[in-house]
Amino acid sequence: MTYAQISDKGRVLLNEIFPEHWKQIERIMSGLTDEEKVQAIELVKKLGLNANSIKNR
pLDDT single digits (tens) 1-57: 556 788 999 888 888 888 888 888 889 999 999 999 999 989 999 998 888 888 777
pLDDT at 3: 64
Q: What is the DSSP letter of 1?
A: -
pLDDT at 57: 77
Q: How far apart are CA 31 and CA 43, in angstroms?
A: 17
Residue 26 phi/psi, 5-degree rounding, is: -65, -40
* pTM exceeding the 0.75 threshold for the entire prediction: no
